[in-house]
Amino acid sequence: MLNTLITHELRTIVLSPKFSLTFAVTSLLMLLSVAVGIAQYHDAVRQYETTTALTQQEMREARGWMSLNNTVLRAPDPMQIFVAGVNDDIGRISAVNSFRGIKLTHSTYSDDPVYAVFRFIDMAFIVSVVFSLLALLFTYDAVNGEAERGTLQLIFSNAVPRARYILGKFIGAWLGLIVPLCIPFMLSALLLIVWSVPMSPDHWLRLLTLYGTSILYVTVFIAAGILLSTATKRSSTSFLYSLVSWVCLVFIVPRAGATIAGQIVVIPTVAEVEAERDAFAKDRWARYEETLQTTWRSRNAPIESMTREDREAYREQHMWEWMEEDDRNRKQVQKDIDAFALSANEQQRNRKAEQERLAFALSRFSPASAYHLAAVNLAGTDITLKARYEDALNIYRPLFTAYKDKKQKESGGMGGIRIEVNTDTGVKIDTGREKGVLDISDMPRFEQPQRSFRDAAVPAMIDIGLLGFFSFAAFAGAFVRFLRYDVR
Amino acid sequence: MEQQPLLEANGLTKRYEDGALAVNNVSFSVRPGEIYAMLGGNGAGKTTTINLFLNFLEPTSGEARIAGIASHADPLAAKKHVAFVSENVMLYTNFTAVQNLAYFVRLGGRTGYTTEDYRRVLLRVGLQEEAHHKKLKGFSKGMRQKCGIAIAILKDAPAILLDEPTSGLDPKSGYEFMQLLGSLRDEGKAILMSTHDIFRAKESADTIGIMRQGNLVMQQSRAALSGEDLERLYMEHMAGVTE
């Protein structure tokens, strides 16, 4: 009997006139989204490769080791095709040098504002918004619609157990909606192969899990639609409730969570943090200047009574020692500024993390939020993407500056411009320019932070679990409601 | 030896939560090969009685038994022995007559019917062959009632409940429908039918019960009513003259 009920429900959905059109349009939308995503991914790869090659060339052709500056790019990841997350919003490029801290700039949207105006509609968005609505539209009248049409009475004039009926309804509706959803999923995967997107086994695992999560998310709305159809007598009422619930769950609750968290946990703005950092740097450099002046005064004190020749000999003897000392002090100042900036950033990140945790906890009441969080985690385009890169860049920066210092010392230059004025030989300017190009073959390379399947799946588990819970709770609600449903 | 009743109401009472008494201590029985017609006006309690048999409602007291099984105690077992045709048979308009039959017959626990079986039974109830594989979208009420009775026939239950089955049918369709009921009675089915139609009740029913305000105010066999003017009796009972 369960088979009969499932088959009937499946046929009712599949043979309904709205089904073919709806699924043709949504499948096309999804395939179009993946195709556009693949094209954008290939563009991003080309841009990444060109800019990386250009940076390498600029480094090789640098004036000297002192002026060696590196620029690191965030490498595109194939998963951004499916879930853009914060990928297009955060910067892709950061300068790596000893003077300025790490800062990712040049986001896709800042470079090409047209993308910000017509934002990329990714698969996760289509599933989250379009398929959830479809699931509700196909199930909101699953039970009360039958009661209104009068078929429910005829069904239950037979020895049909209610539990089996509602289970049949759910499984039938699930198959009717999920199987067609799998078709664009499979075609999307095929597009990746056809258009040579370099998917590692890890990427495939993440994509499969993303597909599974999408199915679970749509299941929540199928169960919710059936619940509404058992909780109301009239299909017009359940239709209205479905729309209101959909708007609340997909649009309002996720944003309300972030807004409430923003009010509860206040964090200083980036401008405030930067102003604080600049003030500290200004103060630190001012103190350094004062110290430098005092030091030079004390250095010059012993030579005031000397003859010109003795003075020059004395200076010649101590000059490198003094310059090294000044350089050490200067580096110490920079280190202090870096440490302050790091600490300020850390504090801001901690506050941000606290705000994010609260926002996520509040917004997770919505399955759309849970799905989105799981999707961005699985794709690696979650909110920690920027921090992951900044952390990796902060690890890389000392390696790079140490390499640069080492090369600088090895080449004998202290950096900067050395001007020597001699009454006999005239002015001699040493820019430290190396002969030919710089050999940077042994330069430490930036390691793009990698995210394994496990790294991606573990934080997504809580949201996947929540989606499972929402599905179960909605179906259990429908089940309990239907046990006492008036079938007349 | 007298056969055991297939449909039996014993002191059947239904009082709704708002206190309204829909059925009050109603008792009757329908044996195999018997048509029992329940006459009564709107709100007399006829449909409620049928709903109590189908366990769509729980009785406040008393019981409705189908093939000896109290329907509120074991509804699934009881419903195996009964088929139901409502006043307005509603089927799936996106499916054909045969597809609807196949679905409801399977829900009724019957399998193994062939397309030929469906064809034969649809012809028997008077549905023309060209309509068998058409979607029900354009079907008239009479055509849907025919599909409903075809489902009841295919379920092959010993008892049939009909809730005002000829209401809204044209005279020809109504006549054909009653002829069909007669043939089912002859096959040994116990038929309980609620109706407003005094003429058809007198013509076809073996026993006639008149309900008023939830009470079974009169119950007579056709033989006992042979010399009586049923319409007059009905009007008197409806007006409460006989009380």
* CB-CB neighbors (< 8 A) of B80 in chain A: 159
- CA–CA distance, A368 with B151 (Å, rounded to integer): 44
Q: Test A156 with B80 for CB contact under 8 angstroms.
A: no
Q: Test B107 with A158 for CB contact under 8 angstroms.
A: yes
pLDDT at A416 over 60: no
Residue A395 or A434, more confident: A395
CA A476 to chain centre: 35
- The torsion angles phi and psi of B208, rounded to 5 degrees, stand at -125, 130
- CA–CA distance, A237 with A144 (Å, rounded to integer): 10
* CB-CB neighbors (< 8 A) of A15 in chain B: 94-95
A227 to chain B, minimum CA–CA distance in Å? 21
- Give the pLDDT score at B202: 81
* CB-CB neighbors (< 8 A) of A486 in chain B: 56
Query: Which residue of chain A comes nearest to B48, CA vs CA?
Result: A488
Query: Which residue of chain A comes nearest to B157, CA vs CA?
Result: A158
* CB-CB neighbors (< 8 A) of A4 in chain B: 103, 106-107
Which option is the CATH number for B81-193: 3.40.50.2300, 3.40.50.10320, 3.40.50.300, 2.70.70.10?
3.40.50.300
pLDDT tens by residue, A388-414: 888 888 888 888 888 888 888 877 655
User: A50-54, A74-78, A108-112: lowest mean pLDDT where?
Assistant: A108-112
Domain membership flag for residue A151: yes
- Give the pLDDT score at A436: 64
User: Using the 8-state DSSP alphabet, how is residue B21 labeled?
Assistant: E
Q: Test A150 with B88 for CB contact under 8 angstroms.
A: yes
Q: Test B103 with A4 for CB contact under 8 angstroms.
A: yes
* CA distance between the termini of chain B: 36
Q: Test A154 with B84 for CB contact under 8 angstroms.
A: yes
pLDDT at A207 over 90: yes
- Region A368-391: mean pLDDT is 89
- The torsion angles phi and psi of A222, rounded to 5 degrees, stand at -65, -50
Q: Residues in chain B with pLDDT < 50?
A: 242-243
Percent of chain A scored above 70 by pLDDT?
A: 95
Query: Which residue of chain B comes nearest to A159, CA vs CA?
Result: B76
Q: How many CB atoms lie within 10 A of CB B141?
A: 15
Question: Counting Cβ atoms within 10 Å, is residue A408 exposed (0-12), middle (13-18) or buried (19+)?
Answer: middle
pLDDT tens by residue, A159-199: 999 999 999 999 999 998 888 888 899 999 999 999 989 99
Q: Test B79 with A153 for CB contact under 8 angstroms.
A: no
Q: How many CB atoms lie within 10 A of CB B204?
A: 22
Provide the number of structural domains found in chain A: 1
Query: Structure pTM?
Result: 0.82
As annotated, the residues of chain B forming the CATH 3.40.50.300 domain(s) are 81-193
Q: How would residue A434 be classed by pLDDT, with cut points 50, 70 and 90?
A: low
- Give the pLDDT score at A239: 94
> What is the amino acid identity at position A96?
V
User: Using the 8-state DSSP alphabet, how is residue A261 labeled?
Assistant: H
pLDDT tens by residue, A474-486: 999 999 999 888 8
Decide if A40 contacts A32 (C-beta within 8 A): no
- Give the pLDDT score at A414: 53
User: Using the 8-state DSSP alphabet, how is residue B2 labeled?
Assistant: P
- Give the pLDDT score at A429: 63
* CB-CB neighbors (< 8 A) of B105 in chain A: none
- Give the pLDDT score at A431: 58
Q: Test A157 with B109 for CB contact under 8 angstroms.
A: no
- Region A62-74: mean pLDDT is 82
- The whole domain housing A448 covers 1-262+366-488
- Give the pLDDT score at B243: 44
ipTM of this predicted complex? 0.90
The structure tokens listed for B29 are 């029985």
- Residue to test with chain A: of B81, B90, B100, B161, most A Cβ within 10 A: B90
Decide if A235 contacts A229 (C-beta within 8 A): yes
Per DSSP, chain A holds a count of helices (H) and strands (E) of: 17, 4
Q: For residue A277, what are the β-bridge partners?
A: none
Q: How many CB atoms lie within 10 A of CB A425?
A: 8
Task: From B154, B159, B225, select the one nearest B193 (Cα to Cα).
Answer: B159
pLDDT at A225 over 90: yes
Interface of B with A (CB under 8 A): 51, 54, 56-57, 75-77, 79-80, 82-84, 86, 88-92, 94-95, 103-104, 106-109, 148, 151, 155, 161
- CA–CA distance, A64 with A25 (Å, rounded to integer): 59
pLDDT tens by residue, A283-330: 999 999 999 999 888 888 888 888 888 888 888 888 888 888 888 899
B77 to chain A, minimum CA–CA distance in Å? 7
pLDDT at A228 over 80: yes
Domain membership flag for residue A21: yes
Burial A162-175 (b: 16+ CB within 10 A, else e): beebbbbbbbbbbb
